[in-house]
Amino acid sequence: MHPAAGESLALTPECGVAGSDRGDTPAGGMLKVHVHSDLVLCRGMLAAEACGDCRLMATTVTPPAPVWWVYMLECAGDRIYTGISPDVRARYALHLSARGAAYTRINKPLRILAAMPCGTRSVATKTEISLKKLSRRDKLRWAAQWPWVAERSA
């Protein structure tokens, strides 16, 4: 269902229209969009600025912040690597291609052992630091509580 002309439009990064055609967004992460009668979006408008084509007002949308994850990888040599990322699958792919951390270039990752959503980067970083201080046995115990389920991370 399409919105009517002048109607507010809530956008999410998944909908495919957030951001400009060049892939950038204005400073501060604010995205200004406007729905024309023909469903064309004006981008980069200031808040409360009227569109010259149809004289309707702009709608301001703030994209949601990504969820950060702390994850553990099982690596060659019976080693465990702990890291953070907003996209565990993409980060794991970087580790596999030797473009991730230096540790995983030396100790090849075998699989994602566990992942826990933390919300913010700050919380994920603090959790990562705490986990890195644990013994191997305690890391495995933590991993058993947060087993990796691929469908869980989008």
What's residue 62's pLDDT?
Answer: 63
What's residue 46's pLDDT?
Answer: 41
Q: Which residue has the tokens 């792919």?
A: 93
Which residues share a beta bridge with 114?
72, 147
- Indicate whether 27 belongs to any domain: yes
What's residue 30's pLDDT?
Answer: 45
Are 73 and 60 part of one and the same domain? no
CB atoms within 10 A of CB 151: 5
Give residue 7's domain range. Answer: 1-64
d(CA 116, CA 142) in angstroms, rounded, equals: 10
What's residue 12's pLDDT?
Answer: 37
pLDDT in tens, the chain (154 residues): 444 444 444 443 333 333 333 344 444 444 444 444 433 444 444 444 445 554 445 555 566 778 999 999 999 999 999 999 999 999 999 999 999 899 999 999 999 999 999 989 999 999 999 999 999 999 999 999 999 986 554 4
Write out the H or E segment, with its range, that includes residue 72. strand 68-75
Are 100 and 83 part of one and the same domain? yes
Are 111 and 123 part of one and the same domain? yes
Are 128 and 82 part of one and the same domain? yes
- Boundary residue ending a domain (49, 64, 79): 64
Are 52 and 120 part of one and the same domain? no
What's residue 65's pLDDT?
Answer: 78
- Indicate whether 154 belongs to any domain: no
Are 108 and 128 part of one and the same domain? yes
In the chain, the number of structural domains is 2
| Amino acid at residue number 134 | L
